[in-house]
Amino acid sequence: MTKRFTHLHVHTEYSLLDGASKIPELVAYAKELGMDSLAITDHGAMYGAVEFYQECTKAGIKPIIGCEVYLAKGSHLEKNNRGMYHLILLAENDTGYHNLMKIVSIGQLEGFYYKPRVDKDVLRTYHEGVICLSACVAGEVPQMILQDNLEGARRCIQEYIDIFGKDNYFLEIQDHDLDEEHKVSAELKQLAQEFGLGLVATNDLHYVQQKDAAAQDILLCIQTTSTVDEPDRMRFNNDSYYLKSYDEMEALFGDCPEALSNTAKIADRCNVKMEFGHLLLPEFPVPDGFDAVSYLRHLCEEALPKRYEVVDEKVRKRLDFELDIINTMGYACYFLIVWDFINYCRSHDIPVGPGRGSAAGSIVAYLLRITNIEPLRYHLLFERFLNPERVSMPDIDTDFCYVKRNQVLDYVVRRYGQERVAQIITFGTLQARAAVRDVGKALGMS
């Protein structure tokens, strides 16, 4: 029989200043060990899901999209210090993926109190298509066991079964040589038999290889603003939190082979499909008698005599050339949307920058007053901004007055609907200079 095991409890670099697993290296090492699937379960966030999915697909490994969520003790809306539990959630299908995104978003937007938290009512609402594991010793059921409250553990297990269904809830056992884990695992094995539930063996993975443990320890020091030699600081108990091979996991859980094989069974069930390359632009509401293409041309033609004293053949030829490419590539709505909110700014006394980046090479952008730089005068190339070979969407950089920036966002939400507007995130990364400074601090250097 083929021996298969899938890591279902995995923290990448997107468990910020906690996970030290860079996704390309993580996936490459899983491939090297002969694994055919791998999960991502970062703390309270899904920032790395798309990169992870693409990297796994490229390597021929099935990606399993998940998250280790924080579960509030009580309502996620209460801001209190009652603490929280960990819980592993995995998307079984596309419905589960969408529900998982909803759960995580609620945690970030509504439940944030030191950490992004959800509660069981949120899980009940968005449980469909989601597989649940009981998590590490910080999970609710393990915590009940550690408090010698076995009746409480039974009540919790039944509650999770009621939420997710018996086939979608698994009891998770780990072994990083912690006394708490040994106590929890012994009881979970009994409880799994009692409730007819599957056991799952996981490694609480925070770095790729064993030799990376010291680097991850320094990350923890940076996160907690402590130094490596502080005796009472947060630290892992040993260097076992890495991507272990099947043989290493079997050595730990050989007495419970179903806990290993169940990981592969769960992996087989998880089939999330991400699709790329589709334009998901909102529709611009054009006036009667127009479509997006004809309205864009109408606005440009209307602006020609206002922007140019003489509309010569050179101007006309450039406009036709640009409109042809914009329309062929399906970006008429995009230009109209950008024109719309910049027009709103100009009519509501919200300062807007003159335009920067490659969009300054577009006469259409100039005519729509998206930019204020005349491209022909400065010999700016439209092709740098947009050409038929370009696979990514055009990017029009726009600067708004920071004082009134929220007015612009509110307008866009009102105009196109909240479900069609998102703000992007920017991650700060430790480049050489910052890395030397922060690592030096963590090592106690002056």
Q: What is the pLDDT along the chain (446 residues), one digit of tens a residue?
A: 568 999 999 999 999 999 999 999 999 999 999 999 999 999 999 999 999 999 999 999 999 999 999 999 999 999 988 899 999 999 999 999 999 999 999 999 999 999 999 999 999 999 999 999 999 999 999 999 999 999 999 999 999 999 999 999 999 999 999 999 999 999 999 999 999 999 999 999 999 999 999 999 999 999 999 999 999 999 999 999 999 999 999 999 999 999 999 999 999 999 999 998 888 888 999 999 999 999 999 999 999 999 999 999 999 999 999 999 999 999 999 999 999 999 999 999 999 988 888 999 999 999 999 999 999 999 999 999 998 887 778 888 889 888 999 999 999 999 999 989 988 888 888 899 999 999 999 999 98
What local confidence, expressed as pLDDT, does residue 2 receive? Answer: 67
Which domains does the chain possess? 23-269 (3.20.20.140), 292-416 (no CATH)
What local confidence, expressed as pLDDT, does residue 369 receive? Answer: 95
Nearest to 87 by CA among 147, 121, 153, 131: 131
Tokens of 276: 């790329």
What local confidence, expressed as pLDDT, does residue 419 receive? Answer: 87
What local confidence, expressed as pLDDT, does residue 1 receive? Answer: 52
What local confidence, expressed as pLDDT, does residue 21 receive? Answer: 97
What local confidence, expressed as pLDDT, does residue 430 receive? Answer: 85
